[in-house]
């Protein structure tokens, strides 16, 4: 197992190209189940979750090959409708194959994903939505079995706005007989991008980019090429890393529109930010002002930057509050930050951060992907060396993070760890 050793004290400065969005790719890849043929998905990030999803598609008989951020997929050989536990347990997004499989083949068997580091993450909305489209759902030895001779269009309201459930039900509805109306659908850019790819494939979808999606089912779809949108979470992570180290950064290949609320909050904290087409330039001098955030569905502040923002506010002279609405238990990074000297109190779904305390390097343990990123950023501002263990989480979702940070001036190295 690998760890990252971060030497504190360097400024993050320079230019960095933002990779394709992890969550964007994971939404586009299952769409290839819906139509037999060959696909090229450009700007696909080379990271572990994409490899895991490729293996999952491989287990269904779909060939995937990633070369230089171009993912080639050949779905003509699909020969299975079963997504095994070994792969689904590694990555919740595997559940995305349920809707496309049942829509196209009338049958899908997908392992239940289980919980995750920050508490239970139910899939009830995915299942209710597919049931509404006429699928019969049964649970058998930890697997969901979904069956339907032919899905039928229906009205379905998502009680909670869910990225994954919207993607799953939307993909299924494209091949259902008749019309489907989805309300309170997720607005996240990764879902909008999926809907656009589905339209390119021949799907009929109205209301893209809104929370109300109207889908007129078609008999078949065709394979297409598509480009993955830039990773807004990776982009925000580098902006925060530059801001907290009082650096200056230019992000390239980014969609600033997807980051509007994050940019507002960074400006409120004292950063100077310029936006120009697909570039964001940030400069920070001095300590940030304390700025509260509340995580919300898009276009609100994403839960996926909550941990990184927590680290940022450690540098602020004053008290700030973080309210986590999406995943109330998502504070596993806090005890690790406290090990570095942070003063943070968590109760219910909020954290109170008393900033301005000196951090000193120590060994810390990553609990999940974004927690790993926040610990690496904390290492940049701590005195001495911080060892971030279990960085396999980081490898899941950030393309070449340490290489990018080193190119931006960070002093980081990867080493083997004896801690499991």
Catalytic residues: 116
118 closest CA partner among 265, 306, 262 = 306
Instruction: Give me the phi and psi of 264, to 5 degrees please.
Output: -55, -45
**Contact code string over 278-317 relative to ligand UD1, x by CB under 6 A:** ------------------------xxx-------------
Instruction: Give me the phi and psi of 237, to 5 degrees please.
Output: -60, -45
The CA–CA distances, whole Å, from 76 to 28, 33, 95, 106, 139 equal 17, 9, 21, 17, 29
H or E segment at 282? strand 279-283
Residue closer to ligand UD1, measured from CB, 62 or 185: 185
Binding of ligand UD1 by 26 (CB under 6 A)? yes
Cis peptide before 299 (omega within 30 of 0): yes
Tell me how far, at minimum, the Cβ of 207 lies from ligand UD1, in Å: 18
Tell me how far, at minimum, the Cβ of 394 lies from ligand UD1, in Å: 14
Binding of ligand UD1 by 266 (CB under 6 A)? no
Q: Which residues between 44 and 63 bind ligand UD1 (CB under 6 A)?
A: none
User: Greatest CA span in the chain, whole angstroms?
Assistant: 63
Q: Which residues contact 296 (CB under 8 A, 6 or more apart)?
A: 325, 326
Residue closer to ligand UD1, measured from CB, 166 or 386: 166
**Contact code string over 116-135 relative to ligand UD1, x by CB under 6 A:** -----xxxxxx---------
Instruction: Report the distance separating Cα 63 and Cα 51, nearest Å.
Output: 12
Instruction: Report the distance separating Cα 246 and Cα 283, nearest Å.
Output: 7
Tell me how far, at minimum, the Cβ of 168 lies from ligand UD1, in Å: 9
Residue closer to ligand UD1, measured from CB, 171 or 284: 171
Binding-site size, ligand UD1 (CB under 6 A): 21
> Looking at 15, 80, 150, 160, which residue binds ligand UD1 (CB under 6 A)?
160
Question: Could you say which DSSP state residue 33 is in?
Answer: G
Q: Which residues between 315 and 334 bind ligand UD1 (CB under 6 A)?
A: 326-327
Residue closer to ligand UD1, measured from CB, 187 or 208: 187
Residue closer to ligand UD1, measured from CB, 162 or 180: 162
Binding of ligand UD1 by 99 (CB under 6 A)? no
**In this structure, are residues 366 and 4 in contact, taking their beta carbons and an 8 Å threshold?**
no
**In this structure, are residues 374 and 310 in contact, taking their beta carbons and an 8 Å threshold?**
yes
Binding of ligand UD1 by 164 (CB under 6 A)? yes
Site residues (CB under 6 A) for ligand UD1?
Answer: 23, 26, 92-93, 121-126, 160, 162-165, 190, 302-304, 326-327
């Amino acid at each position: 197992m690998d760890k990252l050793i971060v030497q504190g004290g360097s400024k993050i400065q320079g230019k960095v190209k933002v990779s394709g969005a992890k969550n964007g790719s994971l939404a586009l890849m299952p769409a290839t189940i819906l139509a037999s043929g060959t696909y090229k998905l450009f700007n696909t990030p080379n990271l572990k979750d994409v490899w895991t999803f490729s293996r999952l598609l491989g287990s269904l008989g779909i060939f995937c090959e990633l070369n230089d951020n171009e993912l080639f997929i050949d779905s003509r050989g699909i020969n299975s409708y079963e997504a095994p536990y070994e792969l689904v347990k590694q990555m919740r997004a595997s559940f995305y194959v349920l809707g496309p499989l049942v829509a196209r083949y009338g049958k899908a068997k997908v392992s239940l994903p289980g919980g995750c580091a920050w508490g239970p993450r139910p899939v009830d909305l995915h299942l209710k939505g597919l049931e509404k489209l006429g699928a019969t759902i049964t649970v058998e030895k930890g697997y969901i079995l979904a069956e339907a001779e032919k899905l039928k269009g229906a009205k379905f309201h998502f009680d909670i706005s869910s990225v994954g459930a919207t993607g799953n039900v939307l993909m299924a509805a494209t091949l259902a007989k008749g019309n489907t109306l989805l309300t309170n659908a997720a607005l996240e850019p990764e879902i909008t991008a999926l809907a656009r790819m589905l339209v390119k494939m021949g799907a009929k979808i109205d209301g893209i980019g809104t929370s109300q999606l109207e889908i007129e089912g078609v008999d078949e779809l065709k394979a297409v090429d598509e480009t993955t949108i830039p990773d807004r979470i990776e982009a925000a992570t580098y902006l925060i890393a530059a801001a907290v180290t009082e650096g200056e950064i230019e992000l390239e290949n980014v969609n600033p529109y997807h980051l509007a609320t994050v940019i507002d909050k960074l400006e409120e904290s004292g950063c100077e930010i310029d936006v120009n087409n697909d570039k964001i330039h940030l400069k920070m001098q001095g300590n940030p002002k304390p700025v509260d955030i509340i995580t919300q569905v898009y276009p609100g502040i994403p839960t996926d930057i909550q941990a990184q923002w927590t680290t940022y506010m450690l540098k602020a002279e004053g008290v700030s509050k973080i309210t986590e609405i999406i995943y109330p238990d998502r504070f596993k990074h806090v005890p690790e930050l406290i090990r570095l000297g942070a003063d943070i109190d968590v109760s219910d779904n909020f954290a109170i951060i008393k900033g301005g305390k000196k951090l000193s390097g120590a060994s810390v343990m990553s609990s999940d992907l974004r927690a790993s990123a926040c610990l690496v950023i904390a290492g940049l501002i701590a005195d001495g060396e911080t060892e971030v263990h279990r960085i396999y989480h980081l490898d899941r979702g950030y393309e070449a993070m340490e290489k990018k940070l080193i190119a931006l001036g960070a002093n980081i190295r990867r080493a083997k760890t004896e801690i499991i």
